[in-house]
Amino acid sequence: MFFAADGKVEVTKEGMKLCTMGPGKVFGELAILYNCTRTATVRTLVHVKLWAIDRQCFQTIMMRTGLIKHSEYMDFLKSVPTFQGLSEETLSKLADVMEETHYDDGEYIIRQGARGDTFFIISKGKVNVTQEDSVNQDNIHLRELGRGDWFGEQALQGEDLRTANVIAAEPVTCLVIDRDSFKHLIGGLDDVSNKVYEDAEAKAKYEAENAFFSSLKLNDFNIIDTLGVGGFGRVELVQLKNEESKTFAMKILKKRHIVDTRQQEHIRAEKHIMTEAHSDFIVRSEPSESLCFM
């Protein structure tokens, strides 16, 4: 992977110019991330100075950085009394999905009335929580929150709109969790229980879905049309033969091409991520061998 320090380069693909890049730009990262062949040609236009890093060094640095950050998040979560009842596995999953965000003094982190889909844990600094008086239109100070405190959970537990303002009282660092991760890993913060499903009805729905799809075979589908074609295969629009109202996008991969480009681990990782995703648009059941295109 290359970092342009000085000069200018031109990027072309199959003889067609795509763009030019100057100092501060990065290129060649796809070959490092996915271990694949180069997808474009980069040619110098003037004298160029580059910094380069090889795949092994890059992966070592990223792995070490990721492990250090993960360890820091784990230590922080264990120090917060609210989360001490959670299992080590759940804490580790929380640390995986957290994103670190920074706010300046006086900056609004949450605005009253805005739609919310994130949950915040303060890891550094303090915030003021205020609420607008509907009569006088004044901001009433409710409380001050600091390290280890959390906020934003009401918007994730049914309230679509934020009910208060949260303003940084000094430079603040927060660990942010999205709605899906909050629901599946934390659930309700009243007892900080680990709930994968919101209620028994949702659980029954997922179990029924798993049972339905685990029994399907490839010959149960009719291919209607091709939705898209990529570097490793294509996506087909398919329809159940015995229930034509049910249609799906089925990803079909070229096994030989995957093996030739050594993408096995990448494809397995994609499959596992899709399986763990809680979305009405993704079939989460463990497929039979006939539905594995790897």
pLDDT in tens, 228-250: 887 667 889 999 888 888 888 88
Task: Name the band, by pLDDT with cuts 50, 70 and 90, for residue 79.
Answer: confident
How would DSSP label each residue in 91-148?
A: HHHHHHH-EEEEE-TT-EEE-TTSB--EEEEEEES-EEEEEE-TTT-PEEEEEEE-TT
Q: How much is the pLDDT for 198? A: 40
Alpha-carbon distance of 132 to 114, in angstroms, equals 13
Is there a binding annotation on residue 246?
Answer: no
- In contact, 50 and 4? CB cutoff 8 Å: yes
For residue range 183-197, what is the model confidence (pLDDT) as tens digits?
777 654 443 333 333
pLDDT score of 251 more than 50 = yes
Side chain identity at residue 80, one-letter code: V
Q: How much is the pLDDT for 204? A: 59
Q: How much is the pLDDT for 89? A: 84
Q: How much is the pLDDT for 17? A: 92
For residue range 253-290, what is the model confidence (pLDDT) as tens digits?
888 878 888 888 888 888 888 777 666 677 765 544 33
Alpha helices in 233-277 (DSSP H): 255-260, 264-276
Token pair recorded at residue 141: 């100070």
